Amino acid sequence: MFISKSDYLLYKQCPKAIWYKFKTPKVFDKNANQMRLDKGNQVTEHARNLFPNGSLVPYSSNRDKMASTTKDLIMKGERTIYEAAFGIDGLFVICDILHLDKDGWKIYEVKSSTSIKERNLDDLAFQYHVVQHFLPIHSTLIIHINNKYVRNGELEVTKLFSITDLTDELKERIFRIQADVSNIHSIGYNFSTEPKQDIGIHCNKYGKEDFPCAAKEHCWSHIPEHSVFDITRIGKKAFDLYYDGITSISDVPNDFKLSEAQKVQVFAYKENRSLIDLNNIKEYLDCFRYPLYFLDFETYQQTIPLFNGISPYQQIPFQYSLHIQESSNGDLEHKEFLAKEGTDPRRVLAERLTKDIPKGSCSVAFNMAFEKMVLKGLAHNFPDLEDHLMDIHDNMVDLMVPFQKKWYYKNEMKGSYSIKYVLPALLPNDESLNYQTLTIQNGSMAMEIYEQLHTYPKEKIETIREHLLAYCKLDTYAMVKVFDHLNSSVQKKSS
Cβ-contact 449, 423 below 8 angstroms:
no
Domain of 94, CATH number, reads 3.90.320
User: Do 268 and 285 share a structural domain?
Assistant: no
Asked which of 169, 190, 211 is the last residue of a domain, the reply is: 190
pLDDT at 186 (0 to 100): 87
pLDDT at 495 (0 to 100): 57
Say whether 262 sits in a helix, a strand or coil.
helix
Domain of 402, CATH number, reads 3.30.420.10
Asked which of 237, 272, 307 is the last residue of a domain, the reply is: 272
Asked whether residue 202 is assigned to any structural domain, the reply reads: no
The whole-angstrom separation of Cα 248 and Cα 228 is 6
Bridge partners, residue 81, by sequence = 55, 98
Asked whether residue 214 is assigned to any structural domain, the reply reads: no
pLDDT at 214 (0 to 100): 87
Cβ-contact 389, 353 below 8 angstroms:
yes
Asked whether residue 433 is assigned to any structural domain, the reply reads: yes
Domain coverage including residue 241: 223-272
User: Do 268 and 329 share a structural domain?
Assistant: no
pLDDT at 28 (0 to 100): 76
List the pLDDT tens digit at each of the 495 positions of the chain.
Answer: 789 999 999 999 999 999 988 888 887 765 555 555 555 688 999 999 999 999 999 999 999 999 999 999 999 999 999 999 999 999 999 999 999 999 999 999 999 999 999 999 999 999 999 999 999 999 999 999 999 999 999 999 999 999 999 999 999 999 999 999 999 988 877 767 788 899 999 999 998 899 999 899 999 999 999 999 999 999 999 999 999 999 999 999 999 999 999 999 999 999 999 999 999 999 999 999 999 999 999 999 999 999 999 999 999 999 999 999 999 888 999 999 999 999 999 999 999 999 999 999 999 999 999 999 999 999 999 999 999 999 999 999 999 999 999 999 999 999 999 998 999 999 999 999 999 999 999 999 999 999 999 999 999 999 999 999 999 999 999 999 999 999 999 987 665
User: Do 312 and 459 share a structural domain?
Assistant: yes
User: Do 243 and 129 share a structural domain?
Assistant: no
User: Do 233 and 160 share a structural domain?
Assistant: no
Asked whether residue 457 is assigned to any structural domain, the reply reads: yes
User: Do 345 and 290 share a structural domain?
Assistant: yes
User: Do 127 and 47 share a structural domain?
Assistant: yes
User: Do 302 and 268 share a structural domain?
Assistant: no
User: Do 305 and 255 share a structural domain?
Assistant: no
Asked which of 272, 306, 340 is the last residue of a domain, the reply is: 272
Asked whether residue 160 is assigned to any structural domain, the reply reads: yes
Asked whether residue 127 is assigned to any structural domain, the reply reads: yes
Could you tell me if residue 429 is left (phi over 0), alpha (psi between -120 and 50 degrees) or otherwise beta? alpha
pLDDT at 193 (0 to 100): 78
User: Do 356 and 230 share a structural domain?
Assistant: no
Name every residue whose Cβ is closer than 8 Å to that of residue 486 and which is 6 or more positions away in sequence.
281, 285, 402, 408
Asked whether residue 201 is assigned to any structural domain, the reply reads: no
Asked whether residue 49 is assigned to any structural domain, the reply reads: yes
User: Do 351 and 454 share a structural domain?
Assistant: yes
Total tally of structural domains belonging to the chain: 3
Q: Report the alpha-carbon angle 316-319-323, nearest 5.
A: 135
Task: Give whole-number Cα distances, 420 to 135, 307, 434, 436, in Å.
Answer: 54, 32, 10, 11
The whole-angstrom separation of Cα 67 and Cα 88 is 10
Q: How many CB atoms lie within 10 A of CB 25?
A: 11
User: Do 131 and 59 share a structural domain?
Assistant: yes
